[in-house]
Amino acid sequence: MPLGLRQNMKQGEWEAQMEIRKFRPYGTVSALTLGGGGLGQIWGATTREEAVATVRLAVEQGITHFDLAPMYGKGESEMVIGEAFQGMDKTGLRFTTKHRLGHVPPEAVYDKLNASLTRSLQTMGIDHADLFLLHSQLIEDGYTLPQFNDLRDRLTTPISYFFDAVIPAFERLQQEGKIGGWGFGLGQQSALEKAIAHEKPPSAVQCVVNPLNSPGAIGYVTGTLDSRAVLDACRKHDVPALAIRAVQAGALTSAMDRDLPEDDADRQDFDRAAGFRALAAQWGQTPARLAHRYALSIDDIGSVILGVKNREELTECLAAAADPKLTPDEICDVESSCLGQ
């Protein structure tokens, strides 16, 4: 659907206009971003038809940014985007994709990134990515993972290798007009902080932002990641940030949408969030709505990336975006509700 038609459509209770925020890589971005995890069916069951309808509703309601990756459902999220926008005007929309590079020979880095990017662009039906992110996690050189260390070369990227081989490849893709900017997300805290402070800083960083201050199961690189400290590093070095894991993989919702063993990190976070759910009930909101409202209220966030899988979940996030931002005291109350559980 051409963006120019949005103003002529009869809309629901969120006609109150999506907040548009400053975000240096694009100039501006919608306060909410539609992420690919739910669309790729990794956060519970949905259908291609429902995912496509969710994308179209997002555009109707003013969302301008879509965050995808080949890993989300083995390309499913990017296929959803391709179908949702087939033959439609995408002017004004922005697209992010990613690649889990790991640690391949340095001379193969550009080819690996370029091949993945080319497939993603073809699948989505776009000619360039506005952001291209490293999907493997950054670690210090020689760091031993507390779990999955036998997969370290597939799951992680050493920091010196990132500086010497990955950044030049990203820059080449920029020069070729294939990407607008580049960045990364999770990893070992000290490595992330070094990359944020580097002389060639990223265009943007995806930071975990939730009241639990937890990346959950995807924090397997280290059990001590302080996500708020990573966001503080972005602030200090003027690096734009995007919020991820607002509901922490379902831990900050009313009920998990998938079966998990008791020792699963996401399941443990759900148990830790009992006080948060009680506070949400006291305030007359669903936990998911309050969790998104929390993320939207944190200073210096360009956009909050959603993991929704259907229109019902998206509608709840749109409601959160229409709510007043939490006050500093309310933010403290929300964070305190997650302590001591």
Structure tokens at 35: 């992420």
Q: What is the pLDDT of residues 288-336, one digit of tens each?
A: 999 999 999 999 999 999 999 999 999 999 999 999 999 999 999 999 9
Amino acid 43: pLDDT = 77
Tell me the β-bridge partners of 204.
183
211 domain residue, yes or no: yes
7 domain residue, yes or no: no
- pLDDT of residue 15 exceeding 70, the answer is no
Got the DSSP string for 13-44? TT-S---EEEETTTEEEESEEEEHHHHTT-SS
Amino acid 17: pLDDT = 78
311 domain residue, yes or no: yes
- Across the chain, mean pLDDT equals 93
- pLDDT of residue 5 exceeding 80, the answer is no
- Reported confidence tier of residue 36, pLDDT bands at 50, 70, 90: very high
10 domain residue, yes or no: no
Amino acid 340: pLDDT = 60
2 domain residue, yes or no: no
Query: Rounded to whole angstroms, how far apart are CA atoms 179 and 166?
Result: 14
Query: Rounded to whole angstroms, how far apart are CA atoms 182 and 312?
Result: 32
Which single residue is written with the structure tokens 């083995």?
74
Tell me the C-alpha to C-alpha distance, in Å, between residue 260 and each of 38, 109, 223, 235, 270: 17, 36, 19, 35, 11
- Domain of 290, in residue numbers: 17-337
Got the DSSP string for 198-250? SSS--SEEEEE-STT---GGG-TT-TT--HHHHHHHHHHTT--EEEE-TTGGG
pTM: 0.93
CATH number at residue 299: 3.20.20.100
* Element at 132 (helix H, strand E): strand 129-134
Which amino acid is it at 337?
Answer: S
- pLDDT of residue 14 exceeding 70, the answer is no
Q: What is the pLDDT of residues 107-166, one digit of tens each?
A: 999 999 999 999 999 999 999 999 999 999 999 999 999 999 999 999 999 999 999 999
The total number of structural domains in the chain stands at 1
Q: What is the pLDDT of residues 204-257, one digit of tens each?
A: 999 999 999 999 999 999 988 999 999 999 999 999 999 999 999 999 999 987
